[in-house]
Amino acid sequence: MAGKSVVDANYRFIAAYQEVNARISQRQQALALYVTLTVSLLAALVALRPSRDSVPVEWLVLGFPVASLSFAFLNYKAERAITNLRRFLSALERLEDNHVLLPSYNTDPQWALGANKARRFHDFAAAVLVTGGNAIGLGAALSIYPQNLAASISIGASALIAMVSVLALLLSPRWSYTPGD
């Protein structure tokens, strides 16, 4: 019976690692989606230069922080899923005390914490992109449409939402997996 449970654990381990890789890919896809949305919004701002017709730039400006907040939510979702899967993998690594005999990526703090430190650069890159994307987008909007945005609260609301998004991205290591969770 013990042989069957080890085989079952191996299959579960492989499946869980495939799911971790899928979640990491989703994080990267969310990053690419954010960059695409931000560049598209910036292109729309430039393409819709002021004319006689009223341009709803106040609504377009809100697209920058909405994209940022959506990216922060997707990043959080992926981080929580990866953490849950790594806890599961750690439990499998500890079956029959195999973590004592074999190197255990999710159980041994040496490996797990090192991986978290390396993944922290994804969080820094995301925060820099969100900060830069919002600064460029809102700066371009203020430069191109100063009269439309002078009395609008959309710039202040956009800046506030963007700061919340950056903060959420920088706090994401709090939700990362650590051995013993």
CA distance linking residue 22 with residue 100, whole number of Å: 28
Task: With respect to residue 180, please indicate whether it lies within any of the assigned structural domains.
Answer: no
So what's the pLDDT on residue 106?
85
- Per-residue burial over 160-171, b if 16 or more Cβ lie within 10 Å, else e, is ebbeebbebbbe
Residue 108 lies in a domain: yes
pLDDT of residue 21: 92
Q: Is 181 a domain residue?
A: no
CA distance 93 to 179: 12
Residue 27 lies in a domain: yes
Is 116 part of any domain?
Answer: yes
Q: Is 25 domain-assigned? A: yes
Asked if 47 and 62 count as a contact pair (C-beta separation under 8 A), the reply is no
Calpha distance 170→156 (Å, rounded): 21
The pLDDT score that the predictor gives to residue 7 is 52
**What pLDDT is stored for residue 108 in this prediction?**
85
Within a domain: 38: yes
pLDDT value of position 19: 93
What pTM does this model have? 0.84
Domain membership flag for residue 132: yes
Structural domain for 79, as ranges: 2-47+55-175
Domains identified in the chain, total number: 1
Tens-digit pLDDT string for the chain (181 aa): 455 555 577 888 889 999 999 999 999 999 999 999 999 999 998 888 776 566 678 888 999 999 999 999 999 999 999 999 999 999 888 888 888 888 888 888 888 888 888 888 999 999 999 999 999 999 999 999 888 888 889 899 999 999 999 999 999 888 888 887 5
